[in-house]
A and B are shown apart, each in its own frame.
Chain A
Amino acid sequence: MSIFSKHLPAVKVGHYKNTENSATEKMPLPDKVFISMVQHIGAPCQPRVKVGDMVKVGQVIGDTDAFVSAPIHSSVSGKVTAIDQNMTMMGIWDPVVTIELDKEQELIEDLKAPKITDRESFIKAVRDSGLVGLGGAAFPTHVKFSPKNLDEVDTLIINGAECEPYITSDYRTMMEDTDLLVEGIKRTKEYLSIKRVVVAIELNKAPAIEKLSEAFKDSDGIEVMGLKPIYPQGAEKVLIYEVTGRQVPIGKLPADVGVLVSNVSSIVALEKYVQTGIPLITRKVTVDGTAVNTPKNVEVLIGTSIKDLIEFCGGYKKPPKKILMGGPMMGRTIYNDNMAIIKNNNAILAFDEDWVKLPKETACINCGRCVRTCPMRLMPTLILKAYDKNDVDELKKLNVLSCMECGTCTYVCPAKKQLSFVNKLAKQKVMEGGNK
């Protein structure tokens, strides 16, 4: 257990990397795209276009003055036909800009590669690219790259762990966009002046490890590290510990222990912008699951509806019963397949009825599995009991706010308790001060 080991607890889950060898296919243009104004954590963007406007590829169509935000660009050229409140993949109601494509894909006139001369212009370029954490968290990258104590940051971790089952979009990125990734890593290292860069990849992606090790063999201060392929290696705090042995203190940021973490796909998107001026308007998405005819990796325009995407993958093989944005451990169920791809959407998984079994919950038998496997070393069974008793002080003592909702505890629980869900509710309870 943890007191004897240098590693955090983790769990073996099936990998199901069915699409690891399917080269990314570019999806043909859809008729319409639906671009949400909330594609990051932080302040929502306001639409900068009106119904009837003609827009071009790369045009900013949503932005805000708030620092914690990232602009949203049009991924297509065409006409804005609607701006309405819709349920988005973030699980909230937000303005969504609908654009009917003219299929010309005309670029906005002033689109050109940014001039980067120093750290400041680099960070500005990061924001202008519209980049957010593409690995799932969707935190604006320029904010992440400008912590107060940037000079104390000595390690940049490039996250290629991809520990969620099914998803292979980061892997395909590493294999297919190696040059952009390598250049992007070097550039980021240079402008943020970080001594050590570690590209961390799970060992089940040996070809990527090999390819990148080769690419970096003459680069000073950049190394590739293989990680045990267990869940949740790719979670930021876990990764930081595995790579540096440091723990991010509760309530602090990775930068406070001298670390920045960025996902491989984010670096590639950034480098693409730096070289061409084309902002983040496409991304790689893994489409898989028992209800999908031809699982594959797809390069898709931000705003493409799930329906169109699945149709491109041969449509549904069986009626879907559950559709996930993201992987089966942390992914979010979506309400309908009219929703559209957002920036941090690394996978769409659709499963049929047989796969969607909610196991029957039984009584907690106090087996300790949840406690043994929680990477944050929390005690989910005690959190469950404290939550049931509405004991907010106890919940605080149990550090429930440190829960990253990775789902490991729920996965291992023989009594099939919805532990991570309860933790989510318990966190809300603690944040509300418990007057519920």
Chain B
Amino acid sequence: MEQYNNGNLVVSSSPHIFDNVDTSKIMLDVIIALIPAFIMSGIVFGTRAIVLTIVCVVACVIFEGLFNYILKKDNTISDYSAVVTGVLLAFNLPANLPFWMAVIGCFVAIVIVKQLFGGIGQNFVNPAITARIVLLISFATPMTTWPLPKKLMGMVDAVTGPTPLGVIATGSDAVPSNLDMFLGFIGGSLGETSAIALLIGGIYLIVRKVIEPTIPVAFIATVFVFAVVTGNDPIFHICAGGVFLGAFFMATDYTTSPLTTKGKIIFGIGCGLLTMIIRLYGSYPEGVSYAILLMNILTPHIDNLTRTNVYGGVKND
């Protein structure tokens, strides 16, 4: 019998088997989960929404690839995280935003927020959200000129109009029905309007164990309760202004949200509270992006305060 020894045996540390989930599979699941909302954006806002999303995805992937290439780093395109960022950024833009502005957003998200901080897993704020806010500050008018859903176009002259939250903020009473809001036939960023499509995607992520329900539930429940307590329509508030997009897809970003369940509850509640405070008491009618951004910044502190109770350790809560 042949001799097997050092030369031809692999010596490595245990364990010797691994779960087949890896980063790209997780990102692919997120992409799949975004498909219903992507389809709804096409139905609601037409081909411009589809094209803008594709532009963002391509731009994000190119920026990621170029950055890796220029800095001679391992290429991370194949983990699909840049694709996810591209889709999420597009979903946070008005469907008729000029392409070049969107590309600037992609640059901010991928190069400045993600790669300059060390790449995937290192950024301390959510790239898509930060890019949206940068665009909002830089190009206030085009970023808040919301195309109206196709369904409404037959009835009104204008092709653009305010979001439901904008409508409320101006005190007008042309608020869309809750059913339209739930389905997504409202003004707003191209991917945020259809609560039902986002919910389907969110449930997919939970079933696939990509995300835990903790953050979305805490986030949406807080918005709901806050609305009830302050005498506002809770259904309207959870469907409006990208709460579902934020809660399921942005606030759950691994890198910028806490590790433990306790931390996630605090994070979700914080997002919900800040969203409502900004909406009801701030000068700006939307609030989700800022709320998540602020909570992103607090995440390291939440993580420090909510460490696990080690088995056999002294309780530290």
Interface set of A (CB-CB < 8 Å, partner B) = 1-3, 8, 11, 13-14, 165, 237, 241, 247-250, 252, 307, 311, 315-316, 319-324, 328-338, 351, 356, 358-359, 362-369, 371-372, 374-379, 381-382, 398-399, 402, 405, 407-408, 410-416, 418, 420-421, 424
Contact = CB atoms under 8 A, between A and B. Distances in A.
B185 to A, nearest CB: 35
Nearest to B256: A366
A353 B262 CA distance: 43
Given A315-B1, A336-B5, A377 B308 contact: yes
Contact of A362 (B79, B212, B261): B79
B23 A415 contact: yes
Given A315-B1, A320-B4, A363-B120, A399 B15 contact: no
A333 B19 CA distance: 19
B259 A335 contact: no
Given A414-B21, A420-B13, A319 B312 contact: no
A217 B254 CA distance: 51
Nearest to A165: B17
Nearest to A4: B261
A338 B15 contact: no
B18 interface: yes
A242 to B, nearest CB: 12
Given A399-B313, A414-B23, A379 B14 contact: no
Interface in B1-44: 1-6, 8-19, 21-23, 25-26
Nearest to A322: B10
B312 A248 contact: yes
A371 B10 contact: no
Contacts of A424: 13
Chain A binding site: helix, strand, loop or mixed by DSSP?
Answer: loop
B310 A358 contact: no
A365 to B, nearest CB: 4
A331 B14 contact: yes
A376 B15 CA distance: 17
A264 B14 CA distance: 24
A406 to B, nearest CB: 8
B260 interface: yes
Contact of A250 (B11, B25, B310): B310
B259 A371 contact: yes
Contact of A324 (B16, B255, B262): B16
Given A378-B308, A412-B19, 20 more contacts: A2-B309, A3-B261, A13-B17, A241-B311, A248-B312, A319-B2, A321-B9, A322-B16, A328-B16, A332-B14, A337-B3, A359-B18, A363-B120, A365-B23, A365-B81, A371-B260, A375-B311, A407-B15, A411-B15, A418-B13
B122 interface: yes
A322 B9 contact: yes
B123 to A, nearest CB: 10
B79 to A, nearest CB: 7
A181 B260 CA distance: 43
Interface string B60-90: 0000000000000010100101000000000
B9 A323 contact: yes
Contacts of B14: 328-333, 405, 407, 420-421
B142 interface: no
B46 interface: no
Contact of A381 (B8, B259, B311): B259
Contact of A3 (B26, B76, B262): B262
B162 interface: no
Contact of B10 (A356, A374, A399): A356
B34 to A, nearest CB: 18
A378 B261 contact: no
B121 interface: yes
Given A320-B9, A335-B5, A363-B122, A411 B18 contact: yes
A405 B14 CA distance: 8
B254 A377 contact: no
Contacts of B81: 365
16 contacts: A165-B17, A237-B311, A248-B311, A311-B1, A323-B4, A329-B15, A331-B16, A333-B12, A334-B11, A358-B10, A362-B22, A363-B76, A368-B259, A376-B310, A410-B15, A414-B21
A247 B312 CA distance: 5
Contacts of B17: 13-14, 165, 328-329, 411
B254 A322 contact: no
B17 to A, nearest CB: 5
A347 to B, nearest CB: 12
Contacts of B120: 362-363, 365
A-B pairs, 3 with minimum CB distance: A407-B15, A336-B5, A421-B13
Contacts of B22: 359, 362, 414-416
Contact of B26 (A248, A367, A421): A367
B19 A365 contact: no
A363 B121 contact: yes
Nearest to A350: B4
B313 A420 contact: no
Nearest to B317: A3
A397 to B, nearest CB: 8
B23 A362 contact: yes
